[in-house]
């Protein structure tokens, strides 16, 4: 194998698509999926590729420095694509500490392991940190987030991601660790855990359950199909300039309520329901605390410098996503039995 690449969080939503991208396009790389398998990690996401000769799985909690060190002793690591994180804003409001441990301490453990492993040579090494547009706070008026927008994180989740971004830059500045960072907008697509808006709405519509829309549904998100994010990560990993940051976004802003209504229309059609049936499930509930109004990414640096562009338009991507959830009932049932119902009850009962 030419290189050994650790992909952390590879059993999660975006991570599983990145693992597949690297396994298929780089058969000469050994791809090691490093994941603790929290509630959000699911090896079912990778069933189709787990037999590939260039794939390994290591169950490791990145918060444990000894386990991380052992991992770096076992493999001669050339690159890290770091996605492992606690990723759901609502959970960061109800229990922030996991976010501090995994997103901040876990990231520093990986940085320390790379610094130690690469102390003789930094040639051809890279630590690639995957971050979020939420570090920039809420976009005022018609403005867009660029790579030089000042950080203004406003939830425990985004503050923990901002903190990890700063640490990654600090290790580059202080120890010359070769790093690159990208900050991406909201992803959607197959394999997303149904605690996030789009898969939760699909699941609820299918089961004729109320659709909880926070506040007035006027918050705006910039949606990107997950495979376009995985392609961007591939390009940045191979072509990005060390020390740089790249924003990734779909240039596709939607109010939440409009996304929900579009999903209702798509599902009425797919489930052979009378038009308007699913929209009756829409229920406005208490707003998320500190709810950011608008995220909007300017991805022109990535487009102009690395030639990346989106390949899937939103309606097509949503229909594909709905089809995937309808066709993968067993995947959904495994996830939504047991713990999920308890989470749902806690999260939505008094709203
Ligand atoms: P996810 O919650 O679906 O997956 C996270 C994965 O990390 C899971 O497999 C989980 O088991 C693993 N993990 C969690 N804690 C761990 C630990 N201590 N040690 C090892 N593994 C651990 O998340 P996602 O939505 O796929 O997001 C992946 C990354 O992309 C995150 O860093 C997130 O901040 C970032 N991001 C997400 C989005 C989005 O819209 N989902 C957008 C931009 C950036
Ligand atoms: O912007 C990138 C971020 O996008 C990522 O960094 C996060 O990991 C990812 O979770 C996502 O954060 P959001 O908070 O924007 O995603 P979520 O799907 O939770 O919510 C999208 C919007 O929908 C948000 O405005 C809140 C709203 N919402 C969400 C849920 C779960 C509802 O109205 N009802 C709901 O039940």
Who contacts 267 (Cβ-Cβ below 8 Å, separation ≥6)?
A: 202, 205, 206, 273, 278, 322
Domain co-membership, 32 together with 168: yes
Tokens for 151, please give them: 């950080």
Q: Residue 337 has what pLDDT?
A: 84
Mean pLDDT by 10 residues, the chain (351 residues): 95 98 97 97 96 97 98 98 98 97 98 98 97 97 96 98 98 98 98 98 98 98 98 98 98 97 98 98 98 97 98 97 97 90 89 78
Q: Residue 338 has what pLDDT?
A: 80
Domain co-membership, 41 together with 118: yes
**Ligand 1 near 105 CB (within 6 A):** no
Q: Residue 223 has what pLDDT?
A: 98
Which residue has the CA at smallest separation from atom 44 of ligand 1? 132
What's 112's domain CATH number? 3.40.50.720
Q: Is residue 181 part of a domain?
A: yes
Cβ atoms < 10 Å from Cβ of 24 = 12
| CA dihedral angle for residue 179, residue 185, residue 189, residue 194, rounded to 10 degrees | 100
Domain co-membership, 137 together with 73: yes
Total domains present in the chain: 2
Q: Is residue 302 part of a domain?
A: no
Q: Residue 163 has what pLDDT?
A: 98
Domain co-membership, 32 together with 75: yes
Is residue 298 annotated as part of the catalytic site, yes or no? Answer: no
Q: Is residue 46 part of a domain?
A: yes
Q: Is residue 67 part of a domain?
A: yes
Domain co-membership, 265 together with 281: yes
Residues 234, 238, 240, 245, CA torsion sign: positive
Tokens for 143, please give them: 């403005």
CA distance 179 to 239: 12
Is residue 195 annotated as part of the catalytic site, yes or no? Answer: no
What's 335's domain CATH number? 3.90.25.10
**Ligand 2 near 214 CB (within 6 A):** yes
> Domain limits at 132?
3-188+224-248
Q: Residue 107 has what pLDDT?
A: 99
Q: Which bound ligand lies closest to the C-alpha atom of 254?
A: 2
**Ligand 1 near 253 CB (within 6 A):** no
Q: Residue 303 has what pLDDT?
A: 98
Ligand 1 atom having least distance to the Cα of 37:
11
Domain co-membership, 16 together with 160: yes
Domain co-membership, 239 together with 98: yes
DSSP 307-319: -----S-HHHHHH
Whether the CB-CB separation of 240 and 179 falls below 8 Å is answered with no
pTM: 0.98
Q: Residue 1 has what pLDDT?
A: 80
Q: Which helix (H) or strand (E) holds 202?
A: helix 197-206
Domain co-membership, 210 together with 148: no
């Amino acid at each position: 194998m030419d290189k050994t690449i650790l992909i952390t969080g590879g059993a999660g939503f975006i991570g599983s698509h990145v693992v597949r991208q690297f396994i298929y396009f780089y058969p000469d790389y050994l791809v090691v999926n490093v994941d603790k398998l929290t509630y959000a990690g699911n090896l079912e996401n990778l069933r189709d590729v787990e037999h590939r000769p260039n794939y390994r799985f290591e169950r490791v909690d990145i918060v444990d420095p000894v386990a991380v060190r052992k991992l770096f002793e076992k493999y001669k690591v050339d690159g890290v694509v770091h996605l492992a994180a606690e990723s759901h804003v609502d959970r960061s409001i109800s229990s922030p500490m996991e976010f501090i441990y995994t997103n901040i301490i876990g990231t520093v453990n990986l940085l320390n392991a790379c610094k130690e492993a690469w102390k003789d040579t930094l040639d051809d090494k890279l630590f690639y940190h995957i971050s979020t547009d939420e570090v920039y706070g809420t976009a005022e008026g018609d403005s867009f987030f660029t790579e030089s927008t000042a950080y203004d994180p406003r939830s425990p989740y985004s503050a923990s991601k901002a903190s990890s971004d700063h640490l990654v830059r600090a290790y580059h500045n202080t120890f010359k660790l070769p790093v690159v960072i990208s900050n991406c907008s909201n992803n959607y697509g197959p394999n997303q855990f149904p605690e996030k808006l789009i898969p939760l709405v699909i699941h609820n519509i299918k089961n004729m359950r109320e659709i909880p829309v926070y506040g007035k549904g006027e918050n705006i998100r910039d949606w990107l199909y997950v495979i376009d994010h995985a392609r961007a990560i591939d390009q940045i990993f191979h072509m990005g300039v060390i020390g740089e940051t790249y924003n990734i976004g779909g240039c596709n802003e939607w109010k939440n309520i409009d996304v929900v209504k579009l999903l209702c229309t798509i599902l009425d059609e797919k489930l052979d329901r009378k038009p308007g049936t699913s929209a009756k499930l829409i229920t406005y509930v208490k707003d998320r605390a500190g709810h950011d109004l608008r995220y909007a990414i300017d991805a022109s640096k990535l487009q102009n410098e690395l030639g990346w562009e989106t390949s899937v338009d939103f309606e097509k991507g949503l229909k594909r996503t709905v089809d995937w959830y309808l066709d993968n009932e067993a995947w959904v049932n495994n996830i939504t039995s047991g713990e999920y119902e308890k989470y749902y009850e806690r999260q939505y009962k008094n709203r």
